[in-house]
Structure 1
Amino acid sequence: MSDYALLARQLETLLDTRDWLTNAAQTCAFLTHEIGDLNWVGFYLQRQPRTLVLGPFQGLPACNPIPFDKGVCGAAATTRRTQRVADVHAFPGHIACDAASRSELVVPIMHDGELWGVLDLDSPRPERFSEDDQRGIERLMEIFSAASDLTKPCNVTG
């Protein structure tokens, strides 16, 4: 079980620039090394209408793009709510980028009331993510958002 209070303090210290790209890359590396049983950590960004595009990540090459009507990431983008999936194979419309992934946690990242993107965590272990993990990762994404200039390079409506 992760100590999310400690991870929050460490992430606040790590994110020492306002540049979202640097902070996203640092956050992915940090989460990959500090949280166990993960096989993919990354950001998908809303850079096209109702579509997520791949951002910084750690892990195997990933699926790109992801429409809002597909997969766990699409569900998080559409609902603007965290998706915690115990068994991705039971999730309707799951996108299998890595056949080893068994559970998933996707946290939407909002900026000025608009969807900026999502953080996607995959695990090869079924039922990997608990409610504590969800709250902890949501808090880490609040820290990421507060530390970063989350601007969109183009005018996108959701």
Structure 2
Amino acid sequence: MYDFKPAAPLDTEALYRELLAAAEALTADEPDGVANMANVAALLWEFLPDLNWAGFYRVAPAKGGGTDELVLGPFVGRPACIRIPFGRGVCGAAAQQGATQLVADVHAFPGHIACDAASASELVVPVLRDGAVVAVIDLDSPSPSRFTAEDAAGIEALAALLAERV
């Protein structure tokens, strides 16, 4: 049986290779997007050190109608903001721009939404299907500058794998 966590400390490239293999194994034959997001949030928590939040926000209709917004999806960590408008905070910027947001200091990010005051850095990667954002993967850390370009590339590969599975 696969344990779904790294067996030993790994370099970044090997860590993301194992994370992708685990995500592939868990989501390949499961059509339920929420179940897949839940398992991948747990994988992120197990594989990536120094996180205080790991999970998803899904694109959904705004409460009361109107423009789509991000709505909290499966995650591991403290309770979080439930709804985030496109363009607001790091997650909203990633959704609006359809581009990865790698933020070394969230307190310097214009419009940052502080769901957890302990968060110091953040990595948010959009999940794109047919060119449209369907979700974002959100990682928070209590350490400044926790995330690197290698982390961004690894999570972007994960987002591509999940595009048709969430």
TM-score, with normalisation over the residues of structure 2?
0.85
The match for 1:120 among 134, 138, 141 is 138
The match for 2:58 among 39, 45, 58 is 45
Is 1:29 the counterpart of 2:42? The answer is yes
Is the deviation greater in 45-54 or in 87-96? 45-54
How many residues are aligned here? 148
Is 1:70 the counterpart of 2:88? The answer is yes
Q: 5+ residue gaps in structure 2? A: 1-10, 62-66
Is the deviation greater in 46-55 or in 34-43? 46-55
- Provide Cα deviations, 1:108-134, integer angstroms capped at 9, x if missing partner: 111122210111100001000000000
CA distance in 2 between counterparts of 1:6 and 1:113 reads: 27
Q: 5+ residue gaps in structure 1? A: 151-158
Please name the residue that 1:19 is paired with: 32
- Note if contact 2:54-2:138 (Cα within 8 Å) is conserved in structure 1: yes
CA distance in 2 between counterparts of 1:135 and 1:141 reads: 10
Is the deviation greater in 53-62 or in 4-13? 4-13
- Matched residue type, 2:127: I
Report the Cα offset of residue 8 of structure 1. Answer: 1.3
- Match of 2:72, SS state, is strand
Q: How does 1:129-144 map to 2 (within 5 A)?
A: 129-144=147-162
What's the RMSD between the two structures over aligned residues?
1.2
CA distance in 2 between counterparts of 1:50 and 1:93 reads: 19
CA distance in 1 between counterparts of 2:87 and 2:152 reads: 22
Is the deviation greater in 48-57 or in 95-104? 48-57
Please name the residue that 1:106 is paired with: 124
- Matched residue type, 1:37: D
TM-score, with normalisation over the residues of structure 1?
0.89
Runs of 4+ aligned residues of structure 1 deviating over 2 Å after TM superposition are none
CA distance in 2 between counterparts of 1:134 and 1:11 reads: 16
CA distance in 2 between counterparts of 1:56 and 1:8 reads: 18
- Provide Cα deviations, 1:86-127, integer angstroms capped at 9, x if missing partner: 000000000000000000000011112221011110000100
CA distance in 1 between counterparts of 2:87 and 2:149 reads: 25
- Note if contact 2:19-2:43 (Cα within 8 Å) is conserved in structure 1: no
